[in-house]
């Protein structure tokens, strides 16, 4: 399994696609309600885009408490028993809703 290189080229950011190619997993945690979710970087990339882990933190929201400011995200290599116990959240479909907003004048 390829690892993140010791000396990554200057100016090149480590994105979700790089993480997928390296076999990493994304862990997203809400610090407010203390819930952890695990995602495959390739599926996160479909929803958020090919962004860095810092940008993932800014774009996700907790489903339980609906807060954004307590979110934390990291990429890591799962090893041994940890890999067997992780339950991944898998992408089923992306559904776009059309909402109409009215304003009285």
- CA dist 29 and 105 (Å) reads 43
Global model pTM greater than 0.85: no
Q: Which helix (H) or strand (E) holds 74?
A: strand 71-76
pLDDT for 84 = 85
pLDDT (tens digit per residue) in 75-84 = 999 988 888 8
Share of the chain above pLDDT 70, in %: 90
For residues 41-54, give the mean pLDDT: 92
């Amino acid at each position: 399994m390829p690892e993140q290189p010791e000396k990554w080229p200057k100016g090149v950011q480590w994105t979700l696609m790089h993480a997928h190619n390296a076999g990493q997993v994304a862990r997203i945690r809400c610090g407010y309600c203390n819930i952890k979710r695990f995602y495959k970087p390739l599926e996160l990339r479909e929803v958020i885009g090919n962004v860095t882990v810092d940008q993932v933190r800014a774009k996700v929201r907790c489903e339980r408490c609906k807060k954004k400011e307590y979110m934390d995200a990291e990429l890591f290599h799962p090893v041994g028993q940890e890999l067997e116990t992780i339950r991944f959240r898998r992408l089923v479909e992306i559904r776009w809703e059309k909402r109409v907003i009215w304003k009285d004048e």
